[in-house]
Structure 1
């Protein structure tokens, strides 16, 4: 069993020193500590990628706190599951959480359930916000770039769909769609 460490801060102005010290005190060799100064919202981090390449079955990854592995619960759970599938345990020093053994499998299951509940809550809040915005007159989608009244006036002037499409540099099917929307036959 080899010990590896992972430390992350969100910005380059923050210091990794406290996390690195805790990892060393827990027995991780300096050359096996991987670090990132990047947001935890993305799993595309250089230090994390190097760690993923180095670890093997039976290894243990130490992280000072749960939120240092990732800020987004779903991504963090995905990382833990990925390591678990490779036979690699993850231990969080301050939180007292470990993914090894039977209790570890239970922890991963519970964390997965929490992540799924979080995804559902975010989805519900997004839909509620969208519904509220629609009630307040907010329109979603791309702004219309074709002057519908121009299409209508050309049609009423007796110009055919093909000619309207050519003049306005739009597809003929778009002309028909606009005329249908405006209830013109």
Structure 2
């Protein structure tokens, strides 16, 4: 039996090391770590990524797959759900660092199976929904920044957060994490977290104004 951490980062200011340290702080120990860099969870299915594909090759019954949250497996409802169901069919247990969720295919109780499957569906839908909301906010932020006349734009204070931190704040907020918890995980101040959560569109527009976001 082996425990495998799978990490995915899609931007240059995210790091695999952060996800690994977060997992270790939560008490997880690993036999190996697989990671995909610069890969979109929306556009690329898990089995199409170099290291994501390896998961399907190496994981066997009794193994444990650890991910920060289900969005590391993907940002598409069908992809996430099918991946989790395939791993469970093989006897692999999936555990998440955030929320400490466990998905185990060995249960035979119909009520437990119903609750588990409903939760998988909900979390897969949340992963896709968050990706769509983030994209919409990014588009709105770009439009807002471009609508201001050249030379008359007030950039405001330079953001104290990166784009990946903004995305992480919104991800955790979607999961109903408290401001203090979000601040601790992201390394941001409570004030920065409040500003992002209160108006994510303006927060992203500020990044764009300062040239700190992908256009």
TM-score using structure 1 length = 0.55
Instruction: Report deviation, 1:99.
Output: 0.5
For residues 39 and 52 of structure 1, the distance between their equivalents in structure 2, rounded to whole angstroms, comes to 19
Q: Which residue of 1 aligns with 2:55?
A: 51
Partner SS for 1:7: strand
Instruction: Report deviation, 1:107.
Output: 2.0
Q: Which residue of 2 aligns with 1:96?
A: 100
For residues 52 and 61 of structure 2, the distance between their equivalents in structure 1, rounded to whole angstroms, comes to 17
Q: Which residue of 1 aligns with 2:205?
A: none
Q: Which residue of 1 aligns with 2:199?
A: none
Contact 1:99/1:105 (<8 A) preserved: no
Q: Which residue of 2 aligns with 1:40?
A: 41
Partner SS for 2:80: helix
Partner SS for 1:106: helix
CA 2–72 in structure 1, closer or farther in 2 if over 3 Å, else same: same
**Aligned positions of 1:103-118 closer than 5 A:** 103=112, 106-112=115-121
Instruction: Report deviation, 1:60.
Output: 0.6
CA 53–104 in structure 1, closer or farther in 2 if over 3 Å, else same: farther
For residues 92 and 29 of structure 2, the distance between their equivalents in structure 1, rounded to whole angstroms, comes to 17
* Alignment RMSD (CA, Å): 2.7
Instruction: Report deviation, 1:113.
Output: 6.6
TM-score using structure 2 length = 0.48
For residues 74 and 13 of structure 1, the distance between their equivalents in structure 2, rounded to whole angstroms, comes to 28
Question: How many aligned positions are there?
Answer: 117
Q: Which residue of 1 aligns with 2:82?
A: 78
Cα-to-partner distance string for 1:44-103 (whole Å, 9 max, x where unaligned): 111111121111111010011221111112211110001011111110011221112535
Q: Which residue of 2 aligns with 1:14?
A: 14
Q: Which residue of 2 aligns with 1:26?
A: 28
Which protein has the larger Cα radius of gyration, Structure 1 or Structure 2? 1
Contact 1:77/1:108 (<8 A) preserved: no
Structure 1: tracts of 5 or more residues without a match: 120-185
Contact 2:65/2:94 (<8 A) preserved: yes
Q: Which residue of 1 aligns with 2:91?
A: 87
